[in-house]
Amino acid sequence: MDAGFVGIGQMGHGMAQRLLEAGHRLTVWNRDAAKADAIVEQGAARASTPAEAAKAGIVFTMLANDAALEAVTEGEGGILSAGEGVLHVSCSTVSVALTRRLTEAHRAKGQRFVSAQVLGRPDAAAAGKLSIIAGGADEDLERLQPLFGAMGQKVLRMGAEPAMAAVSKLAANASIAAIIETLTEAYRIAGSEGVAAETMADFFRETDFGSRMMTVYGPLIATEKFEPAGFPLRLGRKDVGLALDAAGEGADIPFIRLLAARMDKIIGADGGTRDWAALGQPPKA
């Protein structure tokens, strides 16, 4: 299949590479063109604008935040200017409000829009083991299945509206933040009697506490492997903030509000560039 890909960062690189390896024809664009060099060397074509990448008919975007997604979609040379019939697949973790607005904007231009946010870190993207959290029309999701199959191990359909996938991903990321804090505090409790953090990490993996998130984050926290960051704390704070916005000002979610305040304190002190697995640690000196 022909596809475009906009956003060749840590996650986007692995996803785009999987599409190429599966035999799909890919056209890529990245704001910093040099970051797309490796993918182009592997056989992808290089677009001069996001709109040119979208001429493939299907275009994926994988970007850091709302502002970046708005720029490549609505800005000069953006996806909305690519003409009718384009199917835009947004894999970025962004706000529900923007997801709703882009759904309508694409519809007004005779285009299609799907939210297909992903659960997994850069290593999972490179291995094609992402979980894809999808929201959109059934016919669009069916059309995308061969491409999803190259990038992920499962597709979780959350509903017919793209916003349903967006809010599901925000809920998931808020829950991951809670798991990180829980594990960090558990290690400290056990450590009060000399139990090694690595031993507790094994304990959580091997007992009924075991889960994918504990398996991923338990060892990172136990060994304090926070750099280089697979997912920086500042981006995690963005996602937790979007989850709070989605829930609404009066939502009874005190733990998530506490986590947001803790993140703010760390980011204010050291910039939040370490992996968000460091959520339960003091700021970097």
> Across residues 183-202, what is the average pLDDT?
95
| Cis, bond preceding 228 (omega within 30 deg of 0) | yes
Cα–Cα distance measured from residue 252 to residue 236, given in angstroms and rounded to the nearest whole number: 20
Residue found under tokens 């280089």: 228
> Across residues 59-65, what is the average pLDDT?
97
CB burial of 111-131 (b: ≥16 within 10 Å; e: otherwise) equals bbbbbbbbbbbbebbbebbbb
Question: What domains does the chain contain, in order, with CATH numbers?
Answer: 2-160 (3.40.50.720), 167-280 (1.10.1040.10)
pLDDT computed for residue 235 by the predictor: 96
* CA geometry: angle 154, 156, 160, nearest 5 deg: 145
**What is the tens place of the pLDDT at every residue in 10-50?**
999 999 999 999 999 999 999 999 999 999 999 999 999 99
pTM of the predicted protein model: 0.91
**What is the tens place of the pLDDT at every residue in 40-53?**
999 999 999 999 99
In this structure, are residues 14 and 45 in contact, taking their beta carbons and an 8 Å threshold? no
Residue % of the chain over a pLDDT of 70: 100
pLDDT computed for residue 213 by the predictor: 86
> Across residues 259-271, what is the average pLDDT?
96
Q: How buried is residue 81: exposed, middle or buried, by Cβ count under 10 Å (0-12/13-18/19+)?
A: middle
Give the model's confidence band at 285: pLDDT under 50 very low, under 70 low, under 90 confident, else very high.
confident
Per the residue annotation, which of 35, 129, 154, 169 is the catalytic one? Answer: 169
User: Catalytic residue at 169?
Assistant: yes
Under 8 Å CB-to-CB from 54, ≥6 apart: which residues? 4, 6, 79, 82, 86, 88
Residue found under tokens 């022909």: 2
Give the model's confidence band at 75: pLDDT under 50 very low, under 70 low, under 90 confident, else very high.
very high
**CA pseudo-torsion sign 15, 234, 136, 133:** positive
> Across residues 203-216, what is the average pLDDT?
87
In this structure, are residues 151 and 58 in contact, taking their beta carbons and an 8 Å threshold? no
106: pLDDT strictly greater than 90: yes
pLDDT computed for residue 177 by the predictor: 96
pLDDT computed for residue 221 by the predictor: 96
Lowest mean pLDDT among 14-18, 210-214, 274-278: 210-214
Q: How far is CA 265 from CA 68, 167, 172, 224, 279, in A?
A: 25, 25, 22, 19, 10
136: pLDDT strictly greater than 90: yes
Whole-number mean pLDDT of the chain? 96
> Around Cβ 192, how many Cβ atoms within 10 Å?
8
200: pLDDT strictly greater than 90: yes
pLDDT computed for residue 124 by the predictor: 96
Lowest mean pLDDT among 3-7, 212-216, 243-247: 212-216
pLDDT computed for residue 210 by the predictor: 79
> What is the Cα 36 distance to its own chain's centre?
19
Instruction: List 88's β-bridge partners, or say none.
Output: 59, 113
pLDDT computed for residue 212 by the predictor: 84
**DSSP H helical ranges for the chain:** 10-21, 37-41, 50-54, 66-74, 96-108, 122-127, 138-151, 162-191, 197-206, 212-222, 233-247, 254-270
